[in-house]
C-alpha cells in the first residue's frame, strides 16, 4: 500500500498575520466540513468512483485505511482512493476535517462494510 500522505495537494501560504491553506483551486469537486463527536466512529466504507482528500483541521482523530491506523496532526492530509476501505473516529475530543471529493459525488457510491449503528449495507442517506 502506498502511503496516503505522499501526495499533498494543499498549498501552504505563510503571511505576516497567519497562514492560508489552499485546499482546492480550479478543480471540480465537492467539499464537506465534517465534525466527529468524542468516542464516535464512522462506518468502515469504501467508494467505487470518487477519491477523497481528508484535510484534518484538528488533532484527536484516528484514521483507518485498509486496516492501517494513523493519528493525523492538524493540517495533515490523506488521499483515499476508490476501493480503499476507510473510517475515522474521535478518541476523546471533537475534531474537524475538510473532505474534498473528486469525481462524481453520489450517495450510492458509498459501500458500508462495518457500522457501529446497525447501518451495514444500507445506502447513505442525506
Cβ within 8 Å of residue 26, ≥6 positions away:
none
| 11 part of a folded domain | no
Distance CA 54, CA 20 (A): 17
| 51 part of a folded domain | yes
Chain centre to alpha carbon of residue 32? 9
Q: Which domain holds residue 37?
A: 29-114
pLDDT at 19: 75
pLDDT at 120: 77
Strands, E, within 37-109: which ranges? 44-47, 51-56, 61-65, 68-70, 77-80, 86-90, 95-102
Distance CA 79, CA 37 (A): 22
| 10 part of a folded domain | no
| 85 part of a folded domain | yes
| 18 part of a folded domain | no
CATH of the domain at 88: 2.60.120.10
pLDDT at 105: 84
Cβ within 8 Å of residue 6, ≥6 positions away:
79
| 124 part of a folded domain | no
Tens of pLDDT, residue by residue, the chain (126 residues): 566 555 556 777 777 777 777 777 777 888 888 999 999 999 999 999 999 999 999 999 999 999 999 999 999 999 999 999 999 999 999 999 999 999 888 888 888 899 898 887 766 665
Cβ within 8 Å of residue 32, ≥6 positions away:
98, 99, 101
Write down the pTM of the prediction: 0.82
Amino acid at each position: 500500500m502506498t502511503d496516503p500522505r505522499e501526495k499533498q495537494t494543499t498549498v501552504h501560504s505563510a503571511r505576516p498575520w497567519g497562514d492560508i491553506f489552499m485546499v482546492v483551486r480550479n478543480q471540480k469537486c465537492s467539499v464537506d466540513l465534517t465534525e466527529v463527536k468524542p468516542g464516535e466512529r464512522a462506518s468502515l466504507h469504501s467508494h467505487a468512483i470518487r477519491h477523497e482528500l481528508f484535510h484534518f483541521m484538528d488533532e484527536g482523530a484516528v484514521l483507518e485505511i485498509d486496516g492501517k491506523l494513523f493519528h493525523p496532526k492538524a493540517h495533515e492530509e490523506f488521499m483515499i482512493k476508490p476501493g480503499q476501505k476507510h473510517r475515522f473516529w474521535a478518541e476523546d475530543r471533537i475534531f474537524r476535517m475538510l473532505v474534498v471529493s473528486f469525481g462524481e459525488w453520489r450517495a450510492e457510491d458509498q459501500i458500508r462494510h462495518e457500522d457501529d449503528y446497525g447501518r451495514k449495507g444500507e445506502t447513505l442517506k442525506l
